[in-house]
Amino acid sequence: MEAAEDRTTLLIDTAVLAAVIILENGGETFRAEETASRICSAAGKPDAEVLAFPTGVIITVKEENGHNASSVVRVKKRSINLFRVERTNSYSRSYESDRLSLLELKDKLESLRRSPTSSKGVVALAAALSSAMFTLLFEPTLEPHVLFDLGVTFLCTFFAEYVCIASKLKNSYQFTVTFFGSALMALIAVLATGLAGIGNLSCIIIGAITPLLPGISLTNAIRDTVTGDILSGTVRLAETLLIAVAIAGGVGVVLAGYMGLAGRFGAIGGML
Amino acid sequence: MLLYLRDLFVCFAACFFYGKIMAVTVRARIPASLTGAVSYLLYRIIYLETGHELTGYLAAALLVSVLSELLARRMKLPATVFVMPAIIPLVPGVGLYRSMLCLVQNDFDGFFSAGVRTLFISGIVAVAIAIVNAAARHFPHRHHEEKSGPPSLT
């Protein structure tokens, strides 16, 4: 009896952990549900019920004595780490095909959850390089000032990512941080082009905000909706819109101020 | 021609670095970035040759998702790993910027036309991916072996 109960507890803990890792790291909701259900089925509990949404997971498993055992876990931090999603997927499949025991699976998932992520500097550097490339992509022509644009984009993204986006604040105050991050980017871009008197401000800003764009939430939102998970789909869609508004607002505030000043002094018009 | 070549190379690099932010392994990131670059090029060619912006986005997004599903089966990884870095060039940041700029300049007509266009583009891209993904789930996906090989380079 004891052993059966322990096993059910272990099973629920493992299944919940797998679902939580997927949700925390930018996986789709249906993937989290599917993975948890697969683990339960493989453990001989095909009637387990899993309900996942972007901020939490609920699992209920029927025990041998007829009682229901369940677990509710709140997903607090959400970021994007597709490596962990992919590993969780492959570990659960190994468990299904009996190449891992339940205990091994749980250990692997726990160490995966604690696995080191890239440092703040590396993330900021990758973001900066990526947005510099996007600036180059959006430039209409290839003239010498493109190099200046590249440099400025690199600087503003690196700085903004390092200060705001890669900070721990991102998980809890995502909209605020996105707003101030994009405002900071726009500010650096405006200052650099205004002082140097050359450069294409639009291209710099578009390149700089590209890594912030909520492309992943949007794709996941539509995917969740299409697979019938309308609750998660709606939640993620709202998140997408809010992030887009935060970016547009952050950049817009700075540009509005800049254009107001430009109108007053009449000297820096025609930059946009 | 030179601009197309630039698009291809620059887009590859952009997707490659973007994949790093999302901690995609290098093994998956290289084909994913290639997918992104080729699809963006397809969009550019359709847009510049015919002037149909939405068709370009639709074709490019379909290409991204089909290639990603094929890669997912071949490399035995979830398709998300390939879709996410590859789709970024197709997310309409330009449209978001343009609509915001119109709003800041009190140009409401411009804001609505740019905003609706942006909304449509992002909708079309996301729907194209979702449809191909939903269709792909009906084809048998051979379960992948756990790789004990080289450690990840995230």
Domain contains B33: yes
Chain A's closest residue to B85, CA to CA, is A216
Quickly state the pLDDT bin for B153 (edges 50, 70, 90). Answer: very low
User: CA torsion angle for A44, A25, B33, A117 (degrees, to 10)?
Assistant: -110
- The predicted pLDDT at position A198 comes to 82
Chain B's closest residue to A115, CA to CA, is B154
The answer to whether A101 contacts chain B (CB < 8 Å) is no
Residue B82 scores a pLDDT above 90: yes
From first to last of its 272 residues, chain A has per-residue pLDDT tens of 567 778 888 999 999 999 999 999 888 888 899 999 999 999 888 888 999 988 899 999 988 888 888 999 998 888 888 999 999 999 999 998 888 888 889 999 999 988 888 788 888 899 999 999 999 888 877 777 888 888 999 999 898 888 876 565 556 677 888 898 899 999 999 998 888 888 888 889 999 998 888 888 888 888 888 888 889 999 999 989 999 999 999 999 999 888 888 766 554 444 45
* Number of domains observed in the structure of chain B: 1
Domain contains B152: no
Asked whether the beta carbons of residue B21 and residue A94 sit closer than 8 angstroms, the reply is no
Q: Is the ipTM of this complex over 0.95?
A: no
Distance CA A112, CA A26 (A): 15
Query: How far away is chain A from the Cα of B19, in angstroms, using its nearest Cα?
Result: 9
Identify all chain B residues contacting A80, using CB atoms and an 8 Å cutoff.
Answer: 21-23, 84
Domain contains B154: no
- The predicted pLDDT at position A72 comes to 93
Asked whether the beta carbons of residue B103 and residue A252 sit closer than 8 angstroms, the reply is yes
Query: How far away is chain A from the Cα of B78, in angstroms, using its nearest Cα?
Result: 6
Best residue of A137, A157, A165, A205 to probe chain B, by most B CBs closer than 10 Å: A137
Chain A's closest residue to B21, CA to CA, is A123
- The predicted pLDDT at position A128 comes to 92
Of A202, A184, A182, the residue nearest A193 (C-alpha): A202
Of B20, B97, B129, the CB nearest to A126: B20
Asked whether the beta carbons of residue A94 and residue B146 sit closer than 8 angstroms, the reply is yes
Task: Report CA-CA distances (Å) from A210 to A130, A133, A213, B87.
Answer: 9, 10, 5, 12
Query: How far away is chain A from the Cα of B18, in angstroms, using its nearest Cα?
Result: 6
Asked whether the beta carbons of residue A96 and residue B87 sit closer than 8 angstroms, the reply is no
CB B109, CB A56: distance < 8 Å? no
Domain contains B50: yes
Task: Report CA-CA distances (Å) from A67 to A41, A60, A64, A203.
Answer: 18, 10, 7, 61
Residue A190 or residue B137, greater confidence: A190
Quickly state the pLDDT bin for B141 (edges 50, 70, 90). Answer: low
Residue B40 scores a pLDDT above 80: yes
- The predicted pLDDT at position B151 comes to 42
Of A83, A142, A219, the CB nearest to B83: A219
* Full residue range of the structural domain in which residue B79 is found: 2-136
Chain A's closest residue to B103, CA to CA, is A252
Query: How far away is chain A from the Cα of B72, in angstroms, using its nearest Cα?
Result: 11
Among A170-179, B114-123, B141-150, name the one with the lowest average pLDDT. B141-150
- What ranges do the domains of chain A cover? 2-114, 120-265
Residue A147 or residue B146, greater confidence: A147
Asked whether the beta carbons of residue A133 and residue B13 sit closer than 8 angstroms, the reply is yes
Domain contains B35: yes
Angle formed by the axes of helices A82-96 and B80-87, nearest 10°: 160
Quickly state the pLDDT bin for B145 (edges 50, 70, 90). Answer: very low
Domain contains B146: no
Residue B144 scores a pLDDT above 50: no
Query: Cβ of B51: how many Cβ atoms within 10 Å?
Result: 9
